[in-house]
Amino acid sequence: MEKNSRFKVVSTFAGCGGSSLGYKMAGGQVLLAVEWDDNAAETYRLNHHGTEVYHGDITTLSVDEVLARTGLAPGELDIFDGSPPCQGFSTAGKRIMQDCRNQLFREYVRILQGLKPKVFVMENVSGMVKGKMKLIFAEIMRELKGSGYNVSARLMNAMYFKVPQSRQRMIFIGVRKDIGILPSHPKAKFRPITFRQACYDLCGNTPEDRMLGEMLLKVAKSQPDNWNTDQAIYKSIKGNLASSISTQWIGWDRVCGTLTKSEISTSGLVHPDRERYISLAEAKRISSFPDDFKFIDRKSGIVRMGNCVPPLLMKAIAEHIRDNILLTV
């Protein structure tokens, strides 16, 4: 790739475009995004003008159609990106090995083998290397390496790449074997950013904010200043522990914990003032989305950001690939 040219990307399981935004920040051009969810595809189109969206089931998308839509021949694509659904691997879920969502990576591999890009990036949750899920991780590595790539997988925490959130993800990077370069990951460079530093100028409540219910307001008065819910206090007030694990308490001067897609019952990230959950604007800040990024509404915005790769994490990965692989080819 010539030094001044823009590297080209195809993104599958694209969601609202967190990864795409990171690639663009690093100077890339996203030629095609593949996404089946209606809300995610609509959100993607609202924010990524100029990128064609294949709104449909990836199992019906052929390699020939990808090549036709992008105007590329096999081997010409710079980066093939994808985040196959990870709920079956997640430590927040039941982690069922037979979950059909665990098999969607095979669709990613099918298109990878047909496109033959110089580099691929695949992202998933940390839970896939824990317990019985290690077997699926090993299977994924075999499939990726068997597709003609040298592959490296590493857990990366977004908080060391200017994302104001402790969010650990498994990042696979593969380089086509004929290129002769081994894959590597960017090293952590930055100190974590606290919630105060990220959201200091976002003040007051808005009509769209989700306020705490009576029970959690009582918990908030007794909850110690730590991230995880004190279960003894929680149970003494509610009578049971339902949603206690997923009710997390943000501190002004601590890095925020992981934003998840679910805000049901009493679960969610509680603002440091302990009167409400975080706002959509605050969720954007801790997820490294621009303030002007458009979501359909607060509820779907939390879901979209809870599912995505934070843009600044992907920017760091893309810059590393650009400088250490693509510019040397």
Is position 22 within any domain?
A: yes
Same-domain status, 220 and 321: no
State residue 96's pLDDT score: 43
Same-domain status, 174 and 264: no
- State pTM to two decimals: 0.92
Is position 278 within any domain?
A: yes
Is position 3 within any domain?
A: no
Same-domain status, 157 and 201: no
Is position 33 within any domain?
A: yes
Same-domain status, 140 and 231: no
State residue 53's pLDDT score: 98
Q: How many domains does the chain have?
A: 2
Q: What is the pLDDT of residues 31-72, one digit of tens each?
A: 999 999 999 999 999 999 999 999 999 999 999 999 999 999
The phi, psi pair for 11, rounded to 5°, reads -115, 120
Q: What CATH number did the domain enclosing 135 receive?
A: 3.40.50.150
Same-domain status, 140 and 281: no
Q: Which residues of the chain have a pLDDT value below 70?
A: 2-4, 86-103, 126-130
Same-domain status, 288 and 165: no
Is position 12 within any domain?
A: yes
Same-domain status, 166 and 131: yes
Is position 1 within any domain?
A: no
Domain with 166, as residue range(s), is 8-191+309-328
The per-residue DSSP string of 149-201 comes to: EEEEEEEEEGGGGT-SS--EEEEEEEEEGGG------PPP-SPPPPHHHHHTT
State residue 203's pLDDT score: 79
Cβ atoms 269, 228 nearer than 8 A: no
State residue 4's pLDDT score: 62
State residue 101's pLDDT score: 47
Same-domain status, 29 and 158: yes
State residue 89's pLDDT score: 43
State residue 88's pLDDT score: 45
Q: What CATH number did the domain enclosing 226 receive?
A: 3.90.120
DSSP one-letter code for 74: T
Interatomic CA distance for residues 272 and 286, integer angstroms:
14
Active-site positions read 86
Same-domain status, 132 and 207: no
Same-domain status, 205 and 259: yes
Same-domain status, 92 and 209: no
Distances (CA, A) of 288 to 209, 241, 282, 302, 305: 20, 32, 10, 13, 10
CB within 8 Å of 200: residues ≥ 6 apart: none
Is position 300 within any domain?
A: yes
Is position 75 within any domain?
A: yes
Same-domain status, 137 and 265: no
